[in-house]
Amino acid sequence: MMDANKPVSPSGREAILEAAEQLFSEQGFAGTTISQIAERSGQSGSLVIFHFKSKKSLYKAVKASIVARYSACLPEPIEEVEGLHGILRNLMRAMFSYYRNNPTMVRIANWANLEGDHEAWGGESDWHHRYVGQIEAAQRRGEIRDDISPFRALIIITGAIHVWWEFHDHMLRDLDQTDTPDAADECFFHDLEAVLVRGLGPGQ
Amino acid sequence: MMDANKPVSPSGREAILEAAEQLFSEQGFAGTTISQIAERSGQSGSLVIFHFKSKKSLYKAVKASIVARYSACLPEPIEEVEGLHGILRNLMRAMFSYYRNNPTMVRIANWANLEGDHEAWGGESDWHHRYVGQIEAAQRRGEIRDDISPFRALIIITGAIHVWWEFHDHMLRDLDQTDTPDAADECFFHDLEAVLVRGLGPGQ
DNA sequence: GTCTATATCCAGATAGAC
DNA sequence: GTCTATCTGGATATAGAC
């Protein structure tokens, strides 16, 4: 009789998937070996292959599982949100919590980008288009300046946040003055919002 | 008799270094093999080891050569530049041409960041501090709003440009409306500048 | 400096017993 | 499903002749 709920201690297959996700995110595909995955998951190397056929397809399974697990967390299409302030806060808050809560996904996406993997991150494109649409609508309502393309406005917003996380450690080590990482995130959020509200606002 | 000038056709060692730079930038360290480097450089695998001792140290040599070659191209400390507009254009133009002209460096730096290599890109830190200093000075002169930390202002500026290049292909494929890549770069530069000039400007 | 040959190791993957 | 044993290939690196 199958138990529909997640088991308390993960099955062998689950343990492998989890260990693989960690290791791929730390070291990338080429930098990770099946033995490492076996060791960290407490399973044997042959079991890894038994469950997933090949290293390559395990990698795909990891990505698929991430997408399945987190696509629900992607910024929701909160249609009622209006106004530059609302759109900005909504988008920024969603991205911040997204990046904060999914460190392995962020890293794997970065590896995948370098490796030339341009598929599979399915939801992302929809997500972009949805926000582009929101920005366009706000422009029509006169809430966002309309001399900037909505596509590029979105990149400016998301780019700053993306880079903040991509070089998080690097920046805190090198340049930041704040005490704790959390405080640094807060400050960045605050300053970025201030710049964007004014930079994207209407009027001249 | 040594020729001080670069030979027209690169020596074996140079050819290896060049091929290695390409391949590391395309596939990362773990994803690249000595055989590939040998093949692309037209040399033998043993020669690669002969010249560079090990794959690891060849990787270091590649990074060192990149730094040596391009550190001169880093945005210069044009002290006379004043005013938000001047600083912005100066920084943005420098970064754009930098990214555009050094694609292998950009990719290798991204690999290195994921691989956890937090040294070696020596000039970068000085470079950041210099710009932070410029922004601070402009704030004291009242040319840039002073409720934003100079450090975070720099991240907002450089972040947008960095991401633009990191996902250049991705974005052009997915979202952009312009005809040519060059035109897309132009437009992005233009829009980003417009947003930042207003977003970072003084007063309210 | 350049080659051939080779050592060594370990990766990914298979076979088959249990 | 899980194990042990094993295959095969390819990786880094060395040795030594030329």
CATH of the domain at B83: 1.10.357
Q: Show which of A20, A49, A70 is a domain's final residue.
A: A70
Q: Are B84 and B143 in contact (CB under 8 A)?
A: yes
The answer to whether the beta carbons of residues A85 and A93 sit under 8 Å apart is no
CB A121 within 8 A of CB A112: yes
**Please, how many CA atoms are within 13 Å of residue A40, restricted to the half-sphere of its CB?**
16
B49 belongs to a structural domain: yes
Rank A177-191, B44-58, B127-141, B158-172 by mean pLDDT and report only the highest.
B44-58
The string of DSSP letters for A33-55 reads -HHHHHHHHTS-HHHHHHHHSSH
* Entry pTM: 0.90
**How far, in Å, CA of A159 to CA of A153, rounded?**
10
State whether B29 and A31 contact (CB < 8 Å). Answer: yes
Q: Please report whether residue B4 resides in a domain.
A: no
User: Taking a C-beta distance cutoff of 8 angstroms, is the pair A175, B132 a contact?
Assistant: yes
A56 CB below 7 A from strand C atoms: yes
The predicted-structure confidence for B77-106, as pLDDT tens digits, reads as follows: 556 677 899 999 999 998 898 888 889 999
**Environment class of B173 (CB within 10 Å of its CB; exposed 0-12, middle 13-18, buried 19+):** exposed
Mark whether B52 and B121 lie in a shared domain: no
- Do B86 and B169 have their domain in common? yes
Asked whether strand D has any atom less than 7 Å from the CB of B49, the reply is: yes
Domain presence at residue B7: no
Query: Which candidate in A113, A135, A175 is best for mutational testing of the B interface (most B CBs within 10 A)?
Result: A175
Residues whose CB is less than 8 angstroms from the CB of residue A181 and which lie 6 or more positions away in sequence, other chains included: A168, A172
Check whether B54 has a pLDDT greater than 60: yes
Report which DSSP code applies to B123.
H
B140 in the same domain as B62: no
Amino acid symbol at A124:
E
Question: How far, in Å, CA of B48 to CA of B46, rounded?
Answer: 5
Does residue A95 sit in the same domain as residue A60?
no
Assigned domain for B181 exists:
yes
What would the two tokens of residue A21 be?
């996700």
Identify the pLDDT of residue A32. 98
> Residue A187: its pLDDT value, please?
94
* A4, part of any domain: no
Q: Which of A136, A131, A201 is nearest to A161 (CA)?
A: A131
Alpha-carbon span B33 to B100, nearest angstrom: 27
| Chain B neighbors of A196, CB-CB under 8 A | 195, 199
Split into its structural domains, chain B has a count of 2
Q: Both B62 and B89 in a single domain? A: no
Nearest to A162 by CA among A118, A102, A83: A102
The rounded distance, in Å, linking the Cα atoms of B191 and A155 is 11
Q: How many residues does the structure list for chain A?
A: 204
The SS3 call for residue B81 is coil
Model pLDDT, residue B73: 62
Domain end, chosen from A70, A103, A120, is at: A70
| Residues A52, A83 share a domain | no
Token pair of A50, please? 């038994």
Q: Which nucleotide is nearest to B43 (CA to C1')?
A: C2
Task: Assess whether B89 and B59 both reside in one domain.
Answer: no
Kindly state whether residue A3 falls inside one of the protein's structural domains. Answer: no
**Which residues are within 8 A (CB) of A110 and not within 5 positions of it... i.e. 6 or more apart?**
A166, B110, B114
| A172 lies in some domain | yes
Among B50, B70, B90, identify where a domain stops: B70
Query: Are B149 and A187 spatial neighbours (Cβ–Cβ below 8 Å)?
Result: yes
CA B168 centroid distance within chain: 14
Q: Please provide the average confidence, as pLDDT, over all residues in chain B.
A: 88
Residue with token string 């000085």 = B126
Q: Is residue B6 part of a domain?
A: no
Residues B43, B111 within the same domain? no
Contacting residues of A for B59, CB less than 8 Å apart? none
Q: What is the pLDDT of residue B1?
A: 41
> Which residues of B fall within a CB distance of 8 Å from A129?
175
Among all protein residues, pick the one whose CA is nearest to the C1' atom of D14: B46
Task: At B118, list the tokens.
Answer: 């937090």
pLDDT at A6: 45
Contact status, residue B166 vs residue B110, Cβ threshold 8 Å: yes
Residues of the domain holding A61: 12-70
Residue with tokens 């690999």: B111
Q: Are residues A170 and A103 in the same domain?
A: yes
Q: Residue A195 and residue B192: Cβ atoms within 8 Å?
A: no
Q: Do residues B191 and B137 share a domain?
A: yes
CATH code for the domain of A38: 1.10.10.60
Max intra-chain CA distance, chain B? 68
Amino acid at B196: L
| pLDDT tens digits along A156-195 | 999 999 999 988 888 887 766 777 888 999 999 999 999 9
**Same domain, yes or no: A42 and A92:** no
**Positions of chain A with pLDDT under 70:** 1-9, 71-80, 120, 122-123, 175-176, 204
Same domain, B17 and B59: yes
Task: Establish whether the CB of A10 is closer than 7 Å to any nucleic acid atom in strand D.
Answer: no
| Mean of pLDDT values over B23-41 | 98
